[in-house]
Chain A
């Protein structure tokens, strides 16, 4: 279970408060107007940006001061999820060993992870030779190998077309089901939320609200969300 206890985030004049818990294995969308702090919230959970006060717990363990790479989570950014100078296999292999001293068994695991995300025979290629969808799959393969219990998606599929994006979300859902991972996904598209996430965190007016059932939230949005959705 992920718990944010009395978290306050301050950045110049920007302020955001968060106090909620996310059940293990939940799939949660994070939506709200742009600039409300969706990405910042994920940054704080991932450990890139310190909260001013409050604590973050995972399964009861305080991870507030844990460096990003040691937290029990994987994060997919909007872009730059792959190192362009490393091959696909190396990029995925980083999920097993950051120093890339991979055994033959490790390489087999890399190939299996790539196959699982629908990629075959591209281990030796560089990211620049791949399509946007393929690059997303490589990043997902790495997350699959890292097998961390929490997965944060900071709009990694925003640049993909609608059909491809839906496909990737389905893949994330499958992987999360297999590994039992908890998923937090930032999106500005209510379609994504209703397709992927039974629950939704609304970030608006300086508050990250506790998760609520997505359907109910979208059917009967509070005024700030209604304004954002254009209803």
Chain B
């Protein structure tokens, strides 16, 4: 390993440790005793756990029939549907929330229908809304992970089952149920962890004493009460929650990348009955509608409004693009040396573990810690964007590493010795070997980071003043001011920018590769 790489990796590791454990240390140091935990804090803790558990359980339960239908049916558009199931990962949360409100909200399609039939309108703010939004985001993930489970059942098993005359019930008992028992717990824990740290959903659809998550409580005590001690204590609780869930999740494999290879056909002889066929069609139609309707509602409402968006929205959009660009650059600059250094020392997992740490940290905790650390030196409003860049880069790092590490290992195994024997080192090695060979994962990682950062509504909400709002925050403010038409327009703009960033960067990695 060259000196430059060693320095780069050490620098990246130190920075990640500062952003995760360092900020945490600042929080713990500021937090006072847990004895002062009030009734509201307990209720936030309870709500966080309950909504995460219910969201995870519902996502997995609904995903089972959908994944099963996708596994045993071939139809035109199946590949597209599977690709779309990967989209929520880069979909800005606030845009999805807009869509969910457009369908299920007070004056949404569902309530209009209920009212037309003479029923009372229902409200989804609170527990129901939070769970609904979390299922919207995590159902696709659960379907993809479980579909992978189905496809991992060897095709020969199904052939043997057909030869033995198994019916659908026998297949379920002997092939599908054992697979689910092995896979579903991992999926459940993964989604539980995601829902524990989700902030934007709780911010927009939760609130009030009965529907406040720990993350939201951190935000409120910080933003409204400026009670740093309480914010720090809540941050410590959030950390304990995440660390526990992450330790659990580490025992199962976590999802990676977008579901490539999920369109492998498997011949099935057991599922041709008309009843099963009707069941699968119904399940897939309902699932698609549930996922697509909200997005269609946002796009149709917002598209005509884009031209008339007020100037602050455009300024926020430019600011967001700058933040996304800087976060992407920072994430790649951190991830690449970590990946290369890990690949150069097979068997040592220290750097990889450090790079994965942000998975277990909440961005609000990191934000609080950074505030505490930087308070003596700067005014929070002035450093809002810089802090957002740092936190976004850190949060995207695990996904970048997961994309880069396998390719970096392959590169080292295939060409490490050849490059060494030709004395190909330093910048020449970066330019002639690493970048050309890692183009695809680099493009994918950059696209992912840019889209995540573009749509992130987290730590920016803690810090921003009027002059430093990003597009998601501006959108949130428009919603708060009930300017729903402008909000819909801004949502379409945000959606388009996020998807365009991902598409462009990911494409760039594929060009003439």
Contact = CB atoms under 8 A, between A and B. Distances in A.
B177 interface: no
Interface in A81-121: 81, 83, 85-86, 90, 94-95, 98-100
Nearest to A139: B418
A77 B428 contact: no
Nearest to B428: A99
B416 to A, nearest CB: 9
B415 A69 contact: no
B420 A67 contact: yes
A100 B431 CA distance: 10
Contacts of B415: 80, 83
B49 interface: no
Contact of A69 (B420, B433, B436): B420
A46 interface: yes
Nearest to B435: A85
Interface residues of B, number: 18
Contacts of B431: 99
Contacts of B427: 99
Contacts of B18: none
Contacts of A80: 414-415, 418
B424 interface: yes
Contacts of A70: 423
Given A83-B433, A99-B428, A100-B428, A74 B414 contact: no
B472 to A, nearest CB: 38
A48 interface: yes
Interface string A15-52: 00000000000000000000000000000001110000
B432 interface: yes
Nearest to B513: A85
Among A47, A77, A80, A95: residue with most chain B CB under 10 A: A80
Nearest to A68: B420
A203 to B, nearest CB: 20
Given A69-B420, A69-B422, A77-B417, A85 B428 contact: no
A69 B416 CA distance: 12
A81 B428 contact: no
Contacts, number: 53
A46 B416 CA distance: 13
A184 interface: no
Interface in B410-442: 414-415, 417-418, 420-425, 427-429, 431-433, 436-437
A75 B421 contact: yes
Contact of B432 (A69, A75, A86, A95): A86
A110 to B, nearest CB: 14
Contacts of B436: 85-86
Interface string B97-123: 000000000000000000000000000
Contacts of B432: 83, 86, 90, 94, 98-100
Contacts of A100: 428, 432
- How many chain A residues sit at the interface, stated as a range, is 20 to 34
Contacts of B422: 69, 94-95, 98
Contacts of A75: 421
Given A70-B423, A85-B436, A98 B428 contact: yes
A95 B419 CA distance: 11
Contact of A48 (B417, B424, B425, B429): B417
B485 to A, nearest CB: 50
A127 to B, nearest CB: 12
B422 to A, nearest CB: 5
Interface in A52-69: 67-69
Contacts of B417: 48, 68, 77
Given A80-B415, A85-B437, A94 B424 contact: yes
B329 to A, nearest CB: 24
A219 to B, nearest CB: 36
A46 B425 contact: no
B418 A69 contact: no
Most buried by B among A69, A74, A81: A69
A21 B425 CA distance: 31
A44 B425 CA distance: 20
B412 to A, nearest CB: 11
A96 to B, nearest CB: 10
A158 B325 CA distance: 49
Contacts of A47: 420
A108 B80 CA distance: 51
Contacts of B420: 47-48, 67-69
A197 B437 CA distance: 38
Contacts of B429: 98
A145 to B, nearest CB: 11
Nearest to A82: B418
Interface string B392-423: 00000000000000000000001101101111
A64 B232 CA distance: 55
B201 to A, nearest CB: 43
A119 B417 CA distance: 25
B421 A74 contact: yes
8 contacts: A48-B417, A68-B423, A69-B422, A69-B423, A83-B433, A98-B432, A99-B427, A99-B428
Given A77-B418, A100-B428, 16 more contacts: A46-B421, A47-B420, A69-B420, A69-B423, A80-B414, A80-B415, A80-B418, A83-B415, A83-B437, A94-B424, A98-B422, A98-B429, A98-B432, A99-B428, A99-B431, A99-B432
Interface of B: 414-415, 417-418, 420-425, 427-429, 431-433, 436-437
Listed from nearest, the 7 A-B pairs whose CB atoms lie closest are A69-B423, A99-B428, A68-B420, A85-B436, A98-B424, A68-B421, A98-B423
